[in-house]
Amino acid sequence: MSKALTEQELHNLAMNHVGKDLEQRGFEFIAINSKLKKHPQFVCMDKNKQYYFVIVRAVILPDNPNNYDVIWMETFKKHARENNAKVLYAGVGIGNIAGEKEPIYLNQDYLMEYNGIQVLETNLN
């Protein structure tokens, strides 16, 4: 019998997907933190030595992976500004092919909604 993925395992799945995307875009990884609710998940640098804090959020479909807590994000943007970093957000939706009420299982096909990395402006409004 298959084992349903835990919240941490779903988060790790999303991080692996986003990490591959960052790698293909040419980012250099400075630090990686895969613990749930510890941000940022990735600290990266581009070829111009600009630092980026990357937030990865895994959600269960049909929830929208592009939505995030705007108020919390403002405090995180402040942290990025203080460290001369830019903020990237990557939401990943994961679901069971058999239906949205079904859990996602280890070693079984799953649905994934990933619309790429969003650049979040850190300027004060």
pLDDT reported for residue 1 = 61
Question: What pTM was computed for the model?
Answer: 0.92
Query: Which percentage of the chain shows pLDDT scores above 70?
Result: 98
- The residue among 5, 42, 35, 47 whose CA lies nearest residue 20 is 42
The structural domains of the chain, ordered by start, are: 7-63+75-111 (3.40.1350)
Which pLDDT tens digit goes with each residue over 83-108?
999 999 999 999 999 998 999 998 89
Query: Which percentage of the chain shows pLDDT scores above 90?
Result: 90
Which pLDDT tens digit goes with each residue over 50-62?
999 999 999 999 9
pLDDT reported for residue 22 = 98
**Which three-class secondary structure state does DSSP give residue 43?**
strand
Share in percent of the chain as helix, strand, coil (round to 5): 25, 35, 40
